[in-house]
């Protein structure tokens, strides 16, 4: 049977929208056709359309939602706009893919979950750092039980952002970016940690702004207690001389390590990972387990392949609303812990003072999508 080609519309034709096409749809022409693009800066949308030969160019989400032949809307706009756009798409029966950070609060994630339940359409949040053969193998060993008990993990996100980066109007402010390094950069690696050894049971955190003259945090450290009593430490900065991400996961039978520099700092799922068995006798069993994972594609391509398969079969998406909720819950807990200098217990429920958001500034919305 032929695979169905899904018509896609991309909303927000900036930096990350290029990745969705170059590192995703361009590799999957039998599954996706980028039919429309939309940006309130119409010149930017036109240039995007020219780069990727996109047939339709519009300046407003409402115009996309009135196109009956658009199957999937991909939201690549600044963070404060995600919620209203996701809801507008669901109400028009369009499947939605939405960039991170998914929305601005746990209350908003729960509202999207309720909207999805009423809609014929489905939502997939983006966490493309998850996808690649190296991490797939590590996760397979952990899930098989062979790694044994998780003891402790340390996760570093050391990125570099200078004044140039903050020239884009929406960055650096709570009302538009919603948060800093914890929300915008480290959210990916923290999602990987939660995917491997979560959920979180309790968190402590310090955060500060020291690198750039911005409103949101650009340095943070946190300690986590996980559901099984094991521990993790997180550090995140936007002031690193060299961009580096580092994961070290220490289990009863094996330690997994991954360091990525420069461009590879965004690709923690790629091979190689360093896998150190506790005793040499375990090496063969771990290697055999890792060999059970068939090699596949990575990053956006893999997430979109799995998205297409899941839409066809009705299976869960490779990143679910529950995953987006866990990432927003972690940020909520870290902000609450930092503000109160107290340990915050998870899960964070609707009665928590930060359930409706981790900052007080009013959200900026420039869209009339909803």
Ligand X SMILES: NC(=O)c1ccc[n+]([C@@H]2O[C@H](COP(=O)([O-])OP(=O)(O)OC[C@H]3O[C@@H](n4cnc5c(N)ncnc54)[C@H](O)[C@@H]3O)[C@@H](O)[C@H]2O)c1
Q: Applying CB under 6 A, which residues contact ligand X? A: 11-17, 38-41, 44, 61, 76-79, 81, 99-100, 126, 128, 168, 184, 366-367
Complex with ligand X: residue 42 or 293, whichever CB lies closer = 42
Residue nearest to ligand X (CB): 14
Find the shortest distance in angstroms from Cβ 267 to ligand X.
Answer: 10
Please provide residue 286's backbone torsions phi and psi, each rounded to the nearest 5 degrees: -70, -45
Complex with ligand X: residue 11 or 89, whichever CB lies closer = 11
Q: Are 21 and 32 a contacting pair, CB within 8 Å?
A: no
Find the shortest distance in angstroms from Cβ 7 to ligand X.
Answer: 18
Listing from the earlier edge strand, what are the strands of the sheet with 95-98? 56-58, 32-38, 6-11, 72-75, 95-98, 123-125
CA–CA gap between residue 183 and residue 167 (Å, rounded): 19
CA–CA gap between residue 97 and residue 235 (Å, rounded): 29
Q: Buried (b) or exposed (e) across 291-302, using 16+ Cβ within 10 A?
A: eebeeebbbbbb
Complex with ligand X: residue 71 or 99, whichever CB lies closer = 99
Find the shortest distance in angstroms from Cβ 83 to ligand X.
Answer: 11
Find the shortest distance in angstroms from Cβ 236 to ligand X.
Answer: 15
Residue 83: C-alpha distances to residues 313, 353, 370 (Å): 27, 20, 9
Strands 239-251 and 254-261: antiparallel
Structure tokens belonging to residue 157:
């996100």
Find the shortest distance in angstroms from Cβ 192 to ligand X.
Answer: 13
Find the shortest distance in angstroms from Cβ 138 to ligand X.
Answer: 20
H or E stretch including 112? helix 106-118
Complex with ligand X: residue 79 or 357, whichever CB lies closer = 79
What DSSP designation does 30 have? T
Strands 72-75 and 95-98: parallel
- How far out from the chain centre does Cα 118 lie? 24
Q: Which residues pair with 202 in a beta bridge?
A: 225, 345
Complex with ligand X: residue 77 or 338, whichever CB lies closer = 77
Find the shortest distance in angstroms from Cβ 159 to ligand X.
Answer: 11
Complex with ligand X: residue 172 or 346, whichever CB lies closer = 172
Q: Work out the burial of residue 91: count CB atoms within 10 Å of its CB; fewer than 13 is exposed, 13-18 middle, 19 or more buried.
A: middle
Complex with ligand X: residue 44 or 160, whichever CB lies closer = 44
Complex with ligand X: residue 270 or 367, whichever CB lies closer = 367
Complex with ligand X: residue 128 or 237, whichever CB lies closer = 128
Q: Within 13 A of 364's CA, how many CA atoms are on the CB side?
A: 13
Find the shortest distance in angstroms from Cβ 331 to ligand X.
Answer: 13
Find the shortest distance in angstroms from Cβ 216 to ligand X.
Answer: 12
């Amino acid at each position: 049977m032929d695979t169905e080609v899904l018509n896609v519309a991309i909303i927000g034709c900036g930096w990350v929208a290029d990745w969705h096409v170059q590192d995703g749809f361009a590799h999957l022409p039998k599954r996706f056709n980028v039919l429309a693009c939309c940006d309130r800066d119409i010149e930017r949308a036109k240039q995007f359309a020219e780069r990727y030969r996109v047939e339709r160019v519009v300046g407003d989400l409402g115009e996309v939602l009135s196109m009956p032949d658009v199957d999937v809307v991909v939201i690549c706009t600044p963070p404060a706009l995600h919620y209203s756009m996701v809801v507008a798409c669901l109400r028009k029966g369009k499947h939605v893919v939405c960039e991170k950070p998914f929305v601005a609060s746990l209350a908003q994630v729960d509202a999207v979950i309720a909207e999805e339940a009423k809609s014929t359409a489905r939502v997939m949040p983006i966490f493309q750092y998850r996808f690649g053969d190296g991490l797939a193998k590590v996760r397979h060993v952990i899930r098989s039980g062979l790694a044994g008990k998780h003891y402790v993990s340390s996760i570093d996100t050391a990125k570099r952002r200078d004044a140039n980066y903050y020239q884009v109007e929406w960055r650096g402010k709570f009302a538009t970016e919603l948060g800093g390094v914890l929300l915008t950069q480290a959210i990916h690696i923290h999602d990987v940690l939660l995917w491997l050894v979560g959920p979180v049971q309790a968190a402590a955190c310090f955060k500060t702004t020291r690198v750039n003259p911005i409103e949101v945090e650009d340095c943070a450290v946190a300690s986590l207690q996980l559901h099984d009593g094991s521990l993790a430490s997180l550090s995140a900065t936007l002031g690193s001389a060299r961009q580096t991400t580092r994961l070290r996961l220490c289990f009863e039978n094996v330690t997994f390590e991954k360091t990525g520099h420069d461009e590879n700092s965004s690709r923690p799922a790629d091979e190689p990972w360093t896998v150190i068995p506790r005793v040499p006798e375990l090496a063969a069993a771990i290697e055999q387990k890792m060999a059970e994972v068939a090699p596949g594609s990575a990053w956006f391509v893999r997430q979109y392949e799995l998205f297409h398969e899941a839409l066809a079969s009705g299976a869960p998406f490779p990143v679910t609303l529950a995953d987006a909720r866990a990432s927003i819950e972690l940020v909520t807990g870290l902000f609450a812990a930092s503000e109160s200098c107290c340990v915050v217990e998870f899960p964070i429920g609707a009665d928590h003072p930060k359930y409706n958001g981790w900052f007080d500034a009013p959200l900026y919305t420039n869209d009339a999508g909803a």
